[in-house]
Amino acid sequence: MIQWIDEWLSDRERGGFYASQDADFSLEDDGDYFTWTRDEAAEVLTAEELAVASAYYDIGEIGDMHHNPAKNVLHVRGTLEGVAKANAITVEVARERLGAAKEKLYAARLRRPTPYVDKTIYVGWNGMMISAYLEAGRVLDMPEVRAFALKSLDRVLAEAWEAKAGMAHVVGYGEQGGKERGWLGCSRTMCFWGMRRWMRGS
């Protein structure tokens, strides 16, 4: 989840979290960017990689999507140890093949039409994301995650706060820029400032 947010839903240069990414890229599409048929996976993977990836991510002939039953939503079905045993290979070999499969599947997915990413930076949403990233950085011992949370917090406070107007609802509207002014409410505004003082002092 963190990797996806880092790559697709955050402004790595300036800080801040984007609003969302669509599941579809057209009216005829229903999650096709993110899902796989077994044949699609077989086109980009070796037979050995497919054997491991299909067992680990449950890529079968019958999938999960109502509009196309062959489409699979990739999810972890079992353990890597179980996959290795079923394929009569070591866990290390299974891990290598799974890693290669993930890279190839991701590279192939990037060549598909990409669903729209709404790059609006909402202040309230960023408050929740900043809190989540601070917690994740602490629990998972990922200092880079905590650092980006603080970077995002600094941006929100620097660009969304005005002493006379209060806290804006939005830092920027996607690619078009612009801000919407108005109070978020005293408790939420003070939450941002309190978070900043507490985190900078810790």
- For 81-107, the pLDDT digits (tens) are 999 999 999 999 999 999 999 999 999
Per-residue pLDDT at 34 exceeds 80: yes
How is the chain split among helix, strand and coil, in percent rounded to 5?
Answer: 50, 10, 40
Give pLDDT, residue 190: 44
Give pLDDT, residue 167: 84
Give pLDDT, residue 107: 96
Map residue 194 onto helix, strand or coil: helix
Q: Are 83 and 134 in contact (CB under 8 A)?
A: no
* Rounded CA separation 198/24 (Å): 40
Give pLDDT, residue 118: 94
The pTM assigned to this predicted structure is 0.75
Q: Are 116 and 22 in contact (CB under 8 A)?
A: yes
Give pLDDT, residue 68: 83
Per-residue pLDDT at 36 exceeds 50: yes
Half-sphere exposure of 122 (CA within 13 A, CB side): 9
Average pLDDT over residues 2-27: 91
Average pLDDT over residues 170-196: 56
Per-residue pLDDT at 38 exceeds 50: yes
Please give the residue that has the higher pLDDT: either 157 or 165.
Answer: 157
Residue 179 CA, chain-centre distance (Å), reads 25
- For 108-153, the pLDDT digits (tens) are 999 998 899 999 999 999 999 999 999 999 999 999 999 999 999 9
Longest dimension (CA), the chain: 69
CA torsion angle for 186, 190, 192, 193 (degrees, to 10)?
A: 140
Average pLDDT over residues 1-26: 92
DSSP 14-56: T--B--EE-S-SSTT-SSTTT-B-HHHHHHHS-HHHHHHHHHH
Look at residues 173, 174, 183, 188 and name the one whose alpha carbon lies nearest to residue 131: 188
Those residues with Cβ within 8 angstroms of residue 64's Cβ, 6 or more apart along the chain or in another chain:
35, 71, 72, 73
Residues in the chain: 202
Q: Are 200 and 152 in contact (CB under 8 A)?
A: no
> Token match 């939420």: residue?
188
Six-digit token string for 67: 């509009």
Per-residue pLDDT at 191 exceeds 60: no
